[in-house]
């Protein structure tokens, strides 16, 4: 069974540092992916909506690894506002360690994104009730002590 640790970072430089730290901790480089919103998106036809296509694809990918609708939407919103996602996929202890690395670098809490007040510039402002703890739900493992989440799929 594969596991993926996912962390959202407000600063792309921090996401790069997370990837570097994962590399130095012997996490396989080909299993780490950094994803932010593309600076330019190709138009593929008259009815092409590149930003929407990107967001729908990201939402679909997050749900495929076990994110709830609210979690997936929170991550998409975070990326839309300039955040960067780091994915680390593997098995067992290596992914647990990857989540620890993400949390040490300040991965943003999903609950903070879901509660983000519309129109504010910060990714971490919250005003709505948080999501329920997902630790008891199949497919998600809430990593204590930080914003990184692990999904088993």
Both tokens of residue 22? 């994962």
> How far apart, in whole angstroms, are the C-alpha atoms of residue 103 and residue 28?
19
Q: What is the structure's pLDDT at 139?
A: 46
Q: What is the structure's pLDDT at 113?
A: 67
Q: What is the structure's pLDDT at 146?
A: 74
What's the structural domain count of the chain?
1
Specify whether the CB–CB gap between 20 and 107 falls below 8 A: no
- If phi > 0 it is left, if psi is from -120 to 50 it is alpha, else beta; for residue 116 that is beta
Q: What is the structure's pLDDT at 49?
A: 78
pTM of the model: 0.76
DSSP-derived secondary structure for 96-126 = HHHHHHHHHTTPPPHHHHHTPPTT-S-SS--
Q: What is the structure's pLDDT at 145?
A: 54
Question: Which residues of the chain fall short of a pLDDT of 70?
Answer: 41-48, 113-145, 153
> How far apart, in whole angstroms, are the C-alpha atoms of residue 24 and residue 140?
27
The residue ranges of DSSP E strands in the chain, in sequence order, are: 3-9, 32-36, 84-90, 140-142, 149-152
| Torsion, CA 16, CA 20, CA 21, CA 23, rounded to 10 | 140
What's the domain range around 61? 3-152
Backbone angles phi, psi at 2, to 5 degrees: -85, 150
């Amino acid at each position: 069974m594969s596991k993926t640790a996912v962390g959202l970072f407000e600063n792309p430089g921090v996401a790069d540092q997370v990837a570097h730290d994962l590399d130095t901790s012997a996490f396989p480089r080909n299993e780490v992916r950094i994803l932010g919103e593309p600076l330019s998106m190709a138009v593929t036809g008259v009815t092409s909506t590149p930003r929407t296509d990107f967001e729908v694809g990201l939402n679909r990918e997050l749900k495929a690894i076990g994110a709830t609708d609210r979690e997936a939407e929170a991550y998409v919103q975070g990326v839309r506002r300039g955040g960067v996602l780091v994915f680390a996929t593997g098995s067992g202890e290596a992914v647990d360690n990857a989540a620890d690395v993400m949390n040490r670098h300040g991965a943003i809490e999903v609950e903070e994104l879901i509660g983000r007040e519309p129109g504010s510039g910060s990714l971490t402002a919250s005003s709505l009730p948080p999501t329920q703890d997902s630790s008891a739900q199949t497919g998600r493992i809430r990593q204590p002590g930080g914003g990184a989440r692990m999904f088993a799929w």
